[in-house]
């Protein structure tokens, strides 16, 4: 494995925001049933549901590799998955996401950098997934940080 920071080509794909998945995830999180809470008529399910804020995290399932980008990098031998840690997850919403939308996602490796610690070198990978409408309106950005403990540098 090289000491140079790896690069990864950006992935572009469509992310359909499904009504059933919005309801299923909200119920799994023990939220009130959104199909009823957002209905105008008692006993009639709402035709459009708000997406739970965590839903964009699952967008990679619609990507070309059906896996998070760090897993793709591991399969390509760019990182050692046994030395990886989850370093953070950040959401920035510009407006709510709703069921029935299909968003265009661009997922890319935005930044790679090393930090020297008393225990060795840590390599940080910041991935950015930008969610846009077909018209190009930015709806949400998700930044995921993964950390790799560099091999042979455990101190």
* Dihedral of the alpha carbons of 117, 118, 119, 123, in degrees to the nearest 10: 10
**Structural domain that includes position 107:** 11-17+51-149
Average pLDDT over residues 51-68: 89
In a domain, 38, yes or no: no
- Per the model's pLDDT, the better-predicted residue between 57 and 2 turns out to be 57
Q: Is residue 37 in some structural domain?
A: no
128 in any annotated domain: yes
What CATH number did the domain enclosing 140 receive?
3.10.129.10
Write the DSSP string, 70-137: HHHHHHTTSS-GGGEEEEEEEEEESS--BTT-EEEEEEEEEEEEEEEETTEEEEEEEEEEEEE-TT--
Quick: pLDDT tens for 18-46: 999 998 988 888 888 877 777 777 778 88
- On whether residue 99 sits in a domain, the answer given is yes
Give a yes or no: residue 78 inside a domain: yes
* Domain membership flag for residue 74: yes
Quote the percentage of the chain above a pLDDT of 90: 57
pLDDT band for position 155 (cuts 50, 70, 90): very low
Residue 1 lies in a domain: no
**φ and ψ of 71, to 5 deg:** -70, -40
**Model pLDDT, residue 115:** 95
Contact 91, 53 (CB under 8 A): yes
Average pLDDT of the segment spanning 125-135: 97
When comparing pLDDT for 43 and 70, which is higher?
A: 70
What confidence tens digit (pLDDT) does each residue in 100-123 have?
999 999 999 999 999 999 889 999
pTM for the model stands at 0.86
Assess if residue 135 is contained within a domain.
yes
How far is the C-alpha of 86 from the C-alpha of 50, rounded, in Å? Answer: 27
Percentage of the chain exceeding pLDDT 70: 94
Please count the structural domains in the chain: 1
| Token duo for residue 17 | 């925001």
């Amino acid at each position: 494995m090289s000491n140079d920071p790896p690069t990864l080509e950006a992935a572009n794909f469509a992310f359909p925001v499904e009504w059933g998945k919005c309801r299923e995830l909200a119920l799994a999180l023990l939220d009130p049933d959104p199909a009823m809470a957002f209905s105008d008529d008692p006993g009639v399910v709402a035709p459009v549901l708000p997406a739970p804020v965590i839903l964009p995290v699952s967008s990679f399932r619609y990507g070309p590799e059906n896996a998070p980008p760090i897993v793709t990098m591991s399969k390509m031998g760019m990182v050692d998955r046994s030395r990886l840690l989850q370093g953070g997850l950040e959401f920035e919403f510009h407006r709510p996401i709703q069921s029935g939308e299909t968003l265009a996602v661009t997922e890319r490796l935005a930044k790679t950098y090393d930090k020297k610690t008393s225990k060795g070198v840590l390599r940080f990978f910041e991935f950015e997934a930008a969610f846009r409408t077909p018209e190009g309106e930015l709806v949400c950005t998700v930044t995921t940080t993964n950390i790799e403990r560099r091999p042979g540098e455990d101190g």
